[in-house]
Amino acid sequence: MDRMLVVVFDNESKAYEGKEALQQLDAEGNINIYAYSVVVKGADGKATIKQDDDAGPLGTLVGTSLGSLIGLLGGPAGLAVGTAAGALSGATIDLNNARIGADFVDDVNKTLSPNRVALVAEIEEEWTTPVDTRMEAIGGKVFRRGLSDVSDTVNKEEVDAMKADLAKIKEEHSKARAERKASLQENINQLDSKIQSWMQKDKERTDAVERQARAKLQTLKEKASSPRSKTA
């Protein structure tokens, strides 16, 4: 099952130890890691990505569930990108992209207080004991949530409503007097721009999901064909 995993530690040293343990579990075949990063919650409440080589097989945080979750962990203070400068530049950060519930983010943020550190990862695991045992031994608090299926229902309904509104305004514009046409045309332009923006956002999210799916499949294929898996 694909899951989002967050393990909160008291300091960076423990978080990096947790990262090594997670990589070892992957090497042993207990889990598959798709993406991971070490994130520090600063005294100001901002979440800072500490390394730029932690995106894992997905190659980049942009457009991924992991990237969106990291942004959400920044809370109201937002996200400060550290040595991974630009890793989330232009990324859409919301619950829909993260594919987890608001309650999960709230639960993590209650524990990920300022000056604490989190190991955040998108993984596949069949059972929870291997990860829990390793992380708890290091002193980590484990949070996990299965990733939801991507759904465009909310966005589609919103776009359909805006399109219907746009059609009505255009109809009104065609019948309006000259002094009203300019104002209505401005409304038409603004609404049309918003519709195009929503549609572009959906396309980017769909493309990102497809890229992630291909990257995950390639990762599993490479592991299946590796000498280690053949001799296991």
Helix (H, G, I), strand (E, B) or coil at 207: helix
- Average pLDDT, stretch 41-61? 67
- Range in 10-19, 43-52, 177-186 with the lowest mean pLDDT: 43-52
**117 pLDDT higher than 90:** yes
Q: Quote the mean pLDDT of the chain.
A: 78
Cα–Cα–Cα angle for 134, 140, 146, rounded to 5 degrees: 80
Q: How many CA atoms lie within 13 A of 47 on its CB side?
A: 25
Band the pLDDT of 151: cuts 50, 70, 90: low
Band the pLDDT of 52: cuts 50, 70, 90: very low
**48 pLDDT higher than 60:** yes
Q: What is the DSSP letter of 16?
A: H
Query: Cα–Cα distance between 64 and 84 in angstroms, integer?
Result: 15
Query: Cα–Cα distance between 3 and 225 in angstroms, integer?
Result: 24
> Are 30 and 135 a contacting pair, CB within 8 Å?
no
CA dihedral (170, 172, 177, 182) in degrees, to 10, reads -40
Digit-coded pLDDT (tens) for 59-112: 556 557 788 888 888 755 444 444 343 444 444 456 666 777 788 888 898 999
Residue 189: the pLDDT is 92
Distances in whole angstroms, Cα of residue 153 to Cα of each of 96, 109, 164, 167, 203: 11, 28, 16, 21, 14
**191 pLDDT higher than 70:** yes
Residue 141: the pLDDT is 93
Of 13-22, 171-180, 215-224, which has the strongest mean pLDDT?
A: 13-22
Predicted structure pTM score: 0.65
Residue 32 CB neighbour total at 10 angstroms: 18
Distances in whole angstroms, Cα of residue 221 to Cα of each of 35, 163, 214, 218: 16, 43, 11, 5
Phi, psi dihedrals of residue 174, rounded to the nearest 5°: -70, -20
**Sign of the CA dihedral running 23, 26, 31, 33:** positive
- Average pLDDT, stretch 55-62? 52
Residue 220: the pLDDT is 78
Band the pLDDT of 215: cuts 50, 70, 90: confident
Domain boundaries, the chain: 2-148, 150-232
Residue 1: the pLDDT is 79
